[in-house]
Amino acid sequence: MMRSFRSRKPVNTMKIISFIALLLPIGLLAAPAHAAKTDIVVLLNGDHITGEVKELSYGQLKFKTDDMGTIYIEWNKIASLRTKQLLQVELADGRRVFGQAPEAGSTSASIRLLGGQSGNEAVPVELALSDVVRVATVDVGSWLDRLDGSFSMGYSFTQASDIQVFNLAADIGSRNRKRRWEVALDGQLTSQAAGTSSERGSLTSTLERFMPNRYYYETSLEFTRNEELGLDLRSLLGVTFGRYLSQRQGREWRAGAGLAASREYSSDGTTKESLEAQLNTSFRMFRFDSPETNLTANMTLLPSLTESGRLRGEGSIVLRHEVITDLFFEISLNDSYDNRPAAGFETNDWNVVTSLGYSF
């Protein structure tokens, strides 16, 4: 049952989130691509394709062409790759190698990088394709050209109870040889004619710094609202240190631990400040056979260090399936837990969301 118990009128975060999310794809779709399409991919069957390398992620090369648009090629179907773009190549053992690949490797199962691997001297490095788990271009075109993200919306209506649910999500980010950043928005509005409306939303920004041997550290800033848990607004600043436990073609798993400081404004008018431990893990599995499908799971536990016995948790499982190129159907399960919510509110709030979206 939905509740509404407040001593003050909170900021309508759903309206703010909706406005920002609607602006994101408009600006990005207007951004032109300026990089010359002179990269060459040779497939095992002998076909040559000319275009622009965008990235290799989860066993699939994203390749932009003039005639066929953006295509996705399974990495194990590629015989050679040639590009003058500066690449960041991540290997299965955690190493990162930088350089250009202007010529084919010495064998049909390798990539030959030419870059500044020893001082300023250009040193060729031969890498087996089977050891490569990710490739990203570095500093190509304007900063707009290097952005990636997605945008999705969902709506449901139940006639018998007159309940409407509107969902909105968007994310945008980029990466270079040293770091990755992302801003993500997620919101849900539930309304019914004979009851009280309920809002749930979050705005999260993260900055991840890559370290040797698959280690990383990450800072995050998050603003959250959940009326079902009696939370008007929570601001949280966290720092996490962790490691990628597995990076393979088709899957990725990482885990980390750190500290987080938060301030909460509850629906009963109380304010809390807390220092919490932060334990998180995430797993992603990717199927690169057409149509594309990927599964992402995230779990975060936040035991309080200043409020004895309090435990919060956030979890999600997201399944995304491509309908046509760059257009996807998504179903997600989200759960928020707080064993000490505001007085009179639930300790747990979970939902299942279905939506259609576009990735760029």
Same domain, 156 and 276: yes
Picking from 141, 173, 196, the residue at the C-terminal end of a domain is: 141
Task: Give Cβ neighbours of residue 22 (< 8 Å, ≥ 6 apart).
Answer: none
Q: Please report the pLDDT score of residue 298 as a whole number.
A: 95
Domain hosting residue 172, numbered range: 147-359
Same domain, 263 and 316: yes
For the stretch 301-322, pLDDT in tens is 999 999 999 999 999 999 998 8
Same domain, 205 and 303: yes
Choice between 182 and 53, residue whose per-residue pLDDT is larger: 182
Same domain, 270 and 163: yes
Same domain, 127 and 169: no
Same domain, 104 and 238: no
Same domain, 265 and 341: yes
In a domain, 15, yes or no: no
In a domain, 11, yes or no: no
Which CATH number covers residue 53?
2.30.30
Same domain, 46 and 114: yes
In a domain, 1, yes or no: no
For the stretch 41-53, pLDDT in tens is 888 888 889 988 8
Q: Please report the pLDDT score of residue 129 as a whole number.
A: 81
In a domain, 24, yes or no: no
Mean pLDDT of 155-173: 81
Same domain, 265 and 120: no
Pick from 29-43, 125-139, 190-204: least confident: 29-43
Indicate the number of domains in the chain. 2
Which CATH number covers residue 216?
2.40.160.40
